[in-house]
Structures are given as structure tokens and as C-alpha cells.
Amino acid sequence: MRKLFPILLAGVIALGFLVYMMTYTVRFTDAAVVTTFGKVTDASVVRDPGLKFKWPAPIQSVTLYDTRARFLGSKSETQQTADDRQIVVESFLTWRVTDPLTFNKRFNRSGSAAQDHYKSAEKVLNDLLRSAMSEVSKYRLNELFTPKLGDSRLPALEGDIMARLKRGAATGTAASTTASPAGETLDAYGIDVVMVGINKVVLPESTTAQVFERMTQTMQTRASRAEEEGKAAAEQIKSAAEADAKKIEAFANLKAAQIRNQGDLEAAKWLGVQREDPELAEFLKKVDLLREGFGKKTMVVMPTSMFGVDVLNPDYLRGLMERPAGSAPGNGSAPGTGASGAATQGGAK
């Protein structure tokens, strides 16, 4: 048994090594390309996930490609806009392997591992992206940078870059790394660009100063326009207010004239009555003076010869009643009155 154990152990190891050499696993995110004696055919691509069998190397070899999207970022490069402004742009793209067989044929010279093929493909895509960034020259700086949110044409620029990538390599772009003719589309590489984006745009110092100067001029122009519009609106409001004031004044004058005429008409009636009996009118006027001039709790000492106070002298009333009708009351004092004073407390009634 001791002699058989090493033999069995060696057999198990050899069997395990043989199984390792003759099997491979395809995940649901992978696609495998099986080469036989270094050659591939249309049947060499395996996409079904699971455990697969093959002949051991060097008869057959397998390269597994991850078909999920991969990220590729570019370095910041200076680009010129349509209005001759310099900006520094940093872009990126995501890509994936869509045709593993074409991808393998195109990049198998760079090495046997899938990572070597990815690196070669990224060099091609990086060159294509740098070439496509020339689309920036179709846009003006004020189209890419706008004060209002949503007005920027950066999304349109990204769309143009994507279309440029879809059209294929420009002259002299990818030939240096892939030895392929210019003008080929991405399908010729077995890859597809999923998305293109611009993640950073920086203005050089000179451009920044120019932009700030233009923004200042624009704001000053808008401020001047707003000030002029405000002055024009103020003039309109002032004119409208003056016109309304004149209308109100004219209406008030008309109304005052009507009230004055109405008062004159009413006063004419009372003046006529007063002319018929002036003594009574004078007496009533003096009574009104006492009623309005003194409070209920006021004590005032005055001579009865004073106008308005003489009505408190009994002699005044007696003389008024004894005087013939139509005779003048004289100085407002009844006959027989002297310079005696009259004291009143409380209001006149």
C-alpha cells in the first residue's frame, strides 16, 4: 500500500492537470475565442456560459474577452474654438467588444492574453478620440459656456464626437499602432463605442481674462439697457400721474365750484331773512358765539359792553324789545347799561 499511494497521488495530480489543460469556463459576461494550431474560424467563438472542453495546448488555446463596457479617459488637451479661443478639454469614452472573432484577429499580434488585446484597442480608441476632439473647432466659446442653465451646446459637441468616432479613423491616426488603413469604421476592429463625454473644460489664463472682460461688458450693456428702460418707464409713470393729477384737480375745482354755488344759493335765502329782521339775526349770531366759544365748565369774567356778551345783560333784551322795529341797535349795548361786568359759568343756552 505504501508503494501504491505515491502512484495514486501522482495519477490524481496528472489527471487534475489534464482536466485543467482540457477545460475552460465561460461566464455570462464573457465570450471565448478558441484557436486551433493558431487559426480561428467562425465556429471558434463560444458565447454560451458554462464549463467547456478543448484539446490541450499547443493544439488549442482559449482567449476569454469580457464583453462588458470598459472606461477610457483621455488626457487634457488644448483645443481651438470657432472664434479662435483656446480651451483645455478632457474627455472620456466607454467601449466594449462586440465581435470577439474580429477583435482577436485584429489584435492577436500584440500578445496572447486578453489584457494585451485591450491595451492595443485602447491605443486605437485614444488616437481616434484625440482626432475626433477637433469637432470643438465647430463651436464658439459662448455656445459652450452660457450663463443660462441648459443652453450650453456641450451635449451637441459630444454627439458630434460620437459620430466622428462611428465614421472611423482619420488619415494617419490609427495606422501607426495597428498597421490598418485609414478610414475604417469601428466594426473593423470588433469594438463599439457606447458613450462619449466631456468631463472637464478649463480655460487658460488669457482666455479666462478675455471671457471675464466680455462678461463684464455684456453685464454693463445689460445694466445700461435696463437703466434706460427704467428711465423710460419712470417718465411714462410720471406723465400718467401728472395727467391723472390734472384730471383730479379739474374735477375737484368743478366740484368745489358746484358746492360754492350751492352754498351761495343757500346763503342767499338766509341773507334775505336777515335783511328782514337784522336785530334778530345779530342776536342769534351772538348766542352762537357764546355757545361755541365757552365750555360747560368754564368761568369767564367780561364786561357786558363787549360784543357778544351784552346779550347776557337783561337791559339789552329789555331795550331790544322796547326799541321800535327797524331802528339800529347802536353800539350793541341796551339803553341804560353801564360798564358793569357780567360773570358767566357754564355754557350759554
pLDDT tens readout for residues 216-245: 888 999 999 999 999 999 999 999 999 999
Q: How confident is the model at residue 317 (pLDDT cuts 50, 70, 90)?
A: low
pLDDT tens figures, 93-110: 999 999 999 999 999 999
Return the minimum-mean-pLDDT range out of 69-78, 259-268, 270-279.
Answer: 270-279
CATH for the 70-203 domain, from 3.30.479.30, 3.40.50.300, 3.40.50.880, 3.40.50.2020: 3.30.479.30
Q: How confident is the model at residue 268 (pLDDT cuts 50, 70, 90)?
A: confident
The pLDDT assigned to 106 comes to: 93
Checking if the pLDDT of 282 tops 80, the result is: no
The answer to whether the CB of 117 falls within 8 A of the CB of 65 is: yes
Q: Can you give 67-104 as a three-state secondary structure string?
A: CCCEEEECCCEEEECCCCCEEEEEEEEEEEECCHHHHH
The answer to whether the CB of 108 falls within 8 A of the CB of 164 is: no
Extents of the domains making up the chain: 4-66, 70-203, 290-345
Instruction: Name, in order, each residue with C-beta under 8 angstroms of 167's C-beta and a sequence gap of 6 or more.
Output: 185
Angstrom CA distances, 23 to 18, 39, 63, 167, 207, stand at 9, 19, 13, 40, 61
Checking if the pLDDT of 332 tops 50, the result is: no
Over residues 179-189, mean pLDDT = 70
Whole-model pTM? 0.55
Q: How confident is the model at residue 296 (pLDDT cuts 50, 70, 90)?
A: low
pLDDT tens figures, 60-69: 899 999 999 9
pLDDT tens figures, 11-69: 777 777 777 788 899 999 999 999 998 888 888 899 999 998 888 888 889 999 999 99
The pLDDT assigned to 229 comes to: 92
Q: How confident is the model at residue 331 (pLDDT cuts 50, 70, 90)?
A: very low
Angle at 334 between CA 332 and CA 335, to 5 degrees: 130
Q: How confident is the model at residue 150 (pLDDT cuts 50, 70, 90)?
A: confident
Neighbours of 93 (CB within 10 A): 25
Nearest one of 193, 191, 192, 175 to 183, comparing CA atoms: 175
Q: Residue length, the chain? A: 349
Q: Can you give the chain as a three-state secondary structure string?
A: CCCHHHHHHHHHHHHHHHHHHHEEEECCCEEEEEEECCECCHHHEECCCEEEECCCCCCEEEEEEECCCEEEECCCEEEECCCCCEEEEEEEEEEEECCHHHHHHHHHHHCCCHHHHHHHHHHHHHHHHHHHHHHHHHCCHHHHCCCCCCCCCHHHHHHHHHHHHHHCCCCCCCHHHHCCCCCCCHHHHCEEEEEEEEEEEECCHHHHHHHHHHHHHHHHHHHHHHHHHHHHHHHHHHHHHHHHHHHHHHHHHHHHHHHHHHHHHHHHHHHHHHHHCHHHHHHHHHHHHHHHHCCCCCEEEEECCCCCCHHHCHHHHHHHHHCCCCCCCCCCCCCCCCCCEEEEECCCC
Region class of 320: left (phi > 0), else alpha (psi between -120 and 50), else beta: alpha
Nearest one of 185, 189, 139, 141 to 164, comparing CA atoms: 185
Q: What is the rounded end-to-end Cα distance, in angstroms, of the chain?
A: 152
The pLDDT assigned to 133 comes to: 92
- Please name every residue paired with 91 in a beta bridge, in sequence order, or none if there are none: 198
Over residues 320-331, mean pLDDT = 56
